[in-house]
Amino acid sequence: MSQQTFETYEEFWPYYVAMHSRAATRWVHLTGTLTGLALSAYGLARGRKRYLAALPLIGYGTAWPAHFLIEKNNPATFGHPLWSLRGDAQMIRTMLAGRDAELAETAAKWLAEHGEDRTG
């Protein structure tokens, strides 16, 4: 897939979700991000600032391989780093609210509109 361009985050959001069309990818993201957050918080509570590195290392260290191995795509972070960070937070909030099916629907719709069907 070629590099996508967007004028607003609202245009970017469905694309971001589509790049996470498989539930396994979304759950790997959630697990990596929450694990990194927990270790970072633990480190801060213990006065060990080097633990702050856990968030990007574990978060991206689990998320990026999920794109290559599960989705068979490149992370949206490569082309849209700030919107991807915001998208990750929004995706995780949506999942924690029990609305993962909504994300699957958004992904399927975007992929169908753009001539792709990878949601299987």
* pLDDT digits 0-9 by tens, 20-76: 999 999 999 999 999 999 999 999 999 999 999 999 999 999 999 999 999 999 998
Say whether pLDDT at 2 is over 60: no
- Provide the whole-model pTM: 0.87
List the chain domain ranges.
7-112
Output the CA–CA distances (angstroms, integers) from residue 101 to 34, 36, 69, 76, 119, in the order listed: 20, 25, 22, 21, 12
34 and 11 Cβ atoms separated by less than 8 Å? no
- pLDDT at position 120 is 46
15 and 108 Cβ atoms separated by less than 8 Å? no
3-state SS, residue 41: helix
35 and 58 Cβ atoms separated by less than 8 Å? yes
- The angle at the Cα of 14, spanning 8 to 17, to the nearest 5 degrees, equals 125
> How many angstroms separate the most distant Cα atoms in the chain?
50
Lookup result for tokens 């990026």: 64
